[in-house]
Structure 1
Amino acid sequence: MARPRKKTLGSYPTLLVVFSITLALVVIGLFGLLLLHAHKLGETVRENLEVQVYLERNLPETELLRLQQDLEHQPYVAEKAGRAQVRFVSKEEGARQLLETTGEDFHNFLDDNPLRDAYVLKVNPTHTDTASLRQLGRSLGQMRGVFEVQYPKSLFTSINQNLARVSLLLVGFAAVLVVVVVILINNTIKLAMFSQRLLIRSMQLVGATRFFIKQPFIRRATWQGFASGFLAALVLLVLLQYAYYEITQLRLLRDDYLIGLLLAGVLGLGTAIGFFSSFWAVNKYLNVSLDELY
């Protein structure tokens, strides 16, 4: 007959603690990934908003080149792969685009092309608020050779307002979630430490110093927090890769740098909570009276 396994002094369900902390960190990490991709989506939407700069008629080639260089050096023009997002649309190309869009050719009833040459530029996401766009319109309108500046003001305003509302909602929910998860992990470690209260008091009674008593508990809880953070980061990485595999368009919103910071934050959060929760819990049981231990 097998003898029952004897528990070692000071042992408690380590696997259960690590599992509980890992689960809590995965929840907050998933919401963090949602925030990152929502932020990237907002930037992508803003980057694809365009401003049309219509030019005076019959500008010479030198003036067109000068104007393009001036536009490319403006701080409100978005860049991609180190190149300013400015493209020239001739009036002939504009006529072709109009024909493709409407299906009607104005050459049938007009002798001349009434459209103008234009530069189409994409706006830096940091300059898409109402005040910046107003300043952008004035700045472009004062350039030599510019006839008119047009951009969908109502669309810009609507996008900014909607993104602001969604961001505020997500950040508020994230703050609440962080508090809940931190409290949950803290309570998990405190419950584990509760089972060690008598051992802590026994060590006190035999003359062990406070530092000697604290050290093994804090070290164990810190390593458990680190292990939980590592496991949570690994789970999040696997889930993220699976999401990219299932939804290929989601890869367009990928930002490896921010994702790396988030995973490091999950690892650091687990380690920090493990350390501080055990530190406070051990201090509590070092200072309570004998009657309060039961």
Structure 2
Amino acid sequence: MGKSFEQYQRRKLISSYFSVVLSIGLVLFLLGVLGLLVLNTNKMANHFKEQITLSVFLKDNAKEVEIDQLQKSLAMAEYTKSATYVTKEEAAENHSEEIGENFLDFLGYNPLKNSIDVNLNADFVSPLQIEEIAAELTAKNYVDEVSYDEPLVGLLSENVKRVSFWILVASAIFTFIAVLLINSSIRLSIYSKRFIIKTMQMVGATKTFIRRPFIWTNIKLGMLGALLALMVLIIALLYLDKNFPELGLFRDSSMLIGLFGSVFVLGIFISFISTYFATQRFLNLKTDELYY
């Protein structure tokens, strides 16, 4: 009879631990997915920003040395991702391919100008910054004009801010919910041992002594839950990378390591905090209050 009861208690304990690990793993996996979304949203936003082209059109009387000097200075500028010199002949050829016919045969001359196409780094793609760069370049006497899609820049900057704001709000709300879910699972686990806690306290054990094994046990459960979440997250990333290689999910290894490390540390931290306050609550209860 005693052996059967002991086996029942062991199964109940294992079931309790399993449910805690599973709930922690599920919540941390969802947090990892959200973190991955946040990081890649920023990457995608930067990708689109860096597709904005600033075309610096040069006057026909611009000297070759001036053009060469301008291209080199643009290539070395902190706001430049790439600077490509395009001759008027190359521009005409590209335009003819786009419209499907040679417009030079119709006009009889080439009205296009030599230019330098500049792709900016994402940090400098904003209406104000691009306007300042364009004004600086236009001031050069051999530059005819600087052209870029101004409405698109404004729309892109506005939408990126809006999307980033709502993703941050969603991240904050979801993190709060995740903490509550993990905290509830751990509190339920400790609730089943509330009489043991009170018995230990009544025989003279200090609060620190009573808390220590609970905290250490749940930290280990938090670590197991985090490892479970990371395993599932890696499998999901491998699947997405295989089916959507253009996303380049494994290109930034330092970002992924940081994300995985954050998920693991978060699992430990939440488990520690939740266990501490859950045990503290039952330690502060009176004996007759344990039944409610």
TM-score normalised to the size of structure 1?
0.92
For 1:207, the equivalent position in structure 2 comes to 204
The CA deviation string for residues 178-224 of structure 1, in whole angstroms up to 9 with x for no partner, is 10011110111011111111000111111112221111011001111
Q: Find the counterpart in structure 1 of residue 234 from structure 2.
A: 237
In structure 1, the residue matched to 2:84 is: 87
Q: Cα distance 1:183–1:196, how it changes in 2: closer, same or farther (>3 A)?
A: same
1:267 aligned partner = 264
Q: Select 2:45's aligned residue among 42, 47, 60.
A: 42
What per-residue deviation string (whole Å, max 9, x for no partner) do you get for residues 113-151 of structure 1? 221100001011111111111111111112342110000
TM-score of the aligned structures, taking structure 2 as reference length: 0.93
Tell me the matched-pair count.
Answer: 287
After the TM superposition, which of the residue ranges 68-77 and 147-156 deviates more from structure 2?
Answer: 68-77
Q: Which moved more, 1:250-259 or 1:91-100?
A: 250-259
CA positional deviation for 1:177: 0.6
Task: Give the helix-richer structure, 1 or 2.
Answer: 2
Contact 1:41-1:253 within 8 A present in 2 as well: no
**Paired residues of 1:40 and 1:253 also in contact (CA < 8 A):** no
Instruction: Work out the percentage of aligned pairs sharing the same amino acid.
Output: 33
Structure 2 gap segments, 5+ residues each: none
1:230 partner SS: helix
Give per-residue Cα distances to partners, 1:44-80, cap 9 Å, x unaligned.
Answer: 11111111000011433222211111111222212xx
Partners of 2:110 and 2:19 lie apart in 1 by 76
Contact kept? 1:37, 1:254, Cα under 8 Å:
no
**Stretch of structure 1 that moved more, 101-110 or 240-249:** 101-110
Q: Which amino acid aligns with 1:176?
A: I
Pick the aligned partner of 1:172 from 157, 169, 173. Answer: 169
| Aligned partner (choices 4, 7, 10) of residue 9 of structure 2 | 7
1:51 and 1:121 in contact (8 A); partners too = yes
Structure 1 unmatched ranges of 5 or more? 79-84
CA distance in 1: counterparts of 2:250 and 2:76, whole angstroms: 27
Q: State which drifts further: 101-110 or 170-179.
A: 101-110
1:283 aligns with 2:286: no
Mapping of 1:161-200 within 5 angstroms?
A: 161-200=158-197
Misfit runs of 4+, over 6 Å? none
Alignment of 1:76 onto 2:79: yes
